[in-house]
């Protein structure tokens, strides 16, 4: 009987931890990186936003000091292999879900970089969310 | 007991034969390409465009080499660098064979991309890569012949117009005929394997 009791406590403990494991209860930004580029060109940044909260949130804008403008775009391919980019006014972040910014998909576009982005540099980026407010992240420049 | 052992032996023998057949089938099967093969290859009309320092690049001068063509533009921050980064990995993957392949980007945006600009852009991925631009009148027949769609797109972006363009990679054989296309997203491994196979076949 003692063993069964002990086991049930153990099972309960494991269940409790795994239930919490899925979300931190916060909105987090991970795996961020910027593609190397030169001043005067356009650049791109990528990351994964996890909305661990129980409410939907919206990415309203992104600001940086390294370009004339910082925009969010989506690269999309059609059935004929034609790729185009569409500017996104905002990005919806569903509660307890994540949105991946990745090459060939959703990405941050730096228009007219004011400086070179070299591998090893770190770029501060400010992401402005409707609920989570402004989050600043330091993003490394990496070769893909 | 003896009977049991015999069954076991029979099982082992069957397994060995089955394995042999499997190996035969897998290894004797002709190579199947990852790219889309154009059969018969489509002869491409010779063209001349400009590379760095306005130097002429003529397709027919590349005879004997496989030519990889990609269409893009230097203001493109996402899809074009992805493809050029893949080119670099393919180049590295091919080893010595890379000398038998030309890696070329042709602009889809001649109004903003000068030959120098495209050359400088691709050289950042590898000094061996070739960047080409030219007059619209020189580019349009190339786009048309290969079925490359190019369209300026008013995006509302601070970058001005963007360009929608076909993002496939076009493979021309050593005679300058279109042999294969790789859709966007083909991995460097698949591209390198296909190219190595093409080089092997062209030797025979």
Task: Dig out the tokens for B6 from the structure.
Answer: 């015999």
Tell me, what's the pLDDT at B102? 98
> The domain A24-140 belongs to what CATH superfamily?
PCu(A)C copper chaperone (2.60.40.1890)
Question: In Å, how far is B80's CA from the nearest CA of chain A?
Answer: 9
| CATH class in words for B36-203 | alpha beta
Both tokens assigned to B46: 């010779």
Domain residue spans in chain B?
1-30, 36-203
Contact A111, A91 (CB under 8 A): no
| Residue B32 confidence (pLDDT) above 70 | yes
Facing A84 at nearest CB: one of B77, B82, B153: B153
Residue, of A50 and B14, whose pLDDT is higher: A50
* Among the ranges given (A57-61, A135-139, B14-18, B35-39), the one the predictor scored with the smallest mean pLDDT: B14-18
Q: Where are the domains of chain A?
A: 24-140
Interface ipTM above 0.85: no
Q: Report whether pLDDT(B24) > 80.
A: no
Q: Give A88: exposed, middle or buried? Use CB within 10 Å, 0-12, 13-18, 19+.
A: middle
Residue pair B150/B141 in contact by the 8 Å Cβ criterion: no
Identify the DSSP state of A32.
E
Give the model confidence (pLDDT) of A5-56 as tens digits: 655 554 455 444 444 444 468 999 999 999 999 999 999 999 999 999 999 9
CB-CB under 8 Å, A42 with B159: yes
Look at A44 and B78 and tell me if their CB atoms are within 8 Å: yes
Mutate which of A90, A109, A110 to test chain B, going by most B C-beta atoms within 10 A?
A: A109
Where does the pLDDT of residue B203 fall: very low under 50, low under 70, confident under 90, or very high at 90 and above? confident
Q: What is the pLDDT of residues B154-187, one digit of tens each?
A: 888 999 999 999 999 999 999 999 999 999 999 9
């Amino acid at each position: 009987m003692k063993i069964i009791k002990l086991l049930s406590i153990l099972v309960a403990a494991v269940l409790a931890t795994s239930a919490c494991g899925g979300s931190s209860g916060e909105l987090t930004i991970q795996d961020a990186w910027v593609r190397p580029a030169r001043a005067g060109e356009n650049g791109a940044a990528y990351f994964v936003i996890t909305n661990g909260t129980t409410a939907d949130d919206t990415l309203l804008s992104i600001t940086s000091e390294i370009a004339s403008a910082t925009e969010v775009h989506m690269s999309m391919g059609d059935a004929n292999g034609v790729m185009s980019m569409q500017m996104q006014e905002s990005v919806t972040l569903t509660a307890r879900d994540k949105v991946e910014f990745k090459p060939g998909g959703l990405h941050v576009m730096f228009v007219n970089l004011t400086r070179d982005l070299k591998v090893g540099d770190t770029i501060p980026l400010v992401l402005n969310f409707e609920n989570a407010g402004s989050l600043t992240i330091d993003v490394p420049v990496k070769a893909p | 007991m003896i009977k049991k052992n015999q069954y076991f032996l029979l099982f082992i023998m069957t397994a060995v034969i089955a394995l042999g057949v499997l190996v035969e089938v897998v290894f004797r099967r002709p190579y199947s390409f990852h790219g889309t093969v154009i059969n018969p290859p489509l002869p491409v009309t010779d063209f001349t465009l400009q590379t760095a320092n306005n130097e002429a690049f003529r397709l027919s001068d590349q005879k004997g080499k496989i030519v990889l063509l990609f269409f893009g533009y230097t203001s493109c921050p996402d899809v074009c660098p992805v493809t050029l980064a893949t080119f670099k990995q393919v180049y590295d993957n091919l080893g010595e064979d890379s000398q038998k392949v030309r890696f070329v980007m042709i602009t889809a945006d001649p109004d903003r991309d000068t030959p120098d600009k495209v050359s400088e852009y691709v050289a950042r991925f590898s000094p061996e890569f070739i960047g080409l631009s030219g007059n619209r009148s020189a580019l349009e027949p190339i786009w048309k012949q290969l079925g490359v769609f190019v369209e300026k797109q008013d995006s509302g972006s601070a970058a001005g117009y963007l360009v929608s363009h076909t993002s496939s990679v076009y493979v021309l054989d050593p005679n300058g005929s279109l042999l294969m296309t790789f859709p966007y997203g083909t991995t460097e491994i698949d591209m390198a394997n296909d190219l190595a196979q093409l080089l092997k076949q062209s030797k025979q």
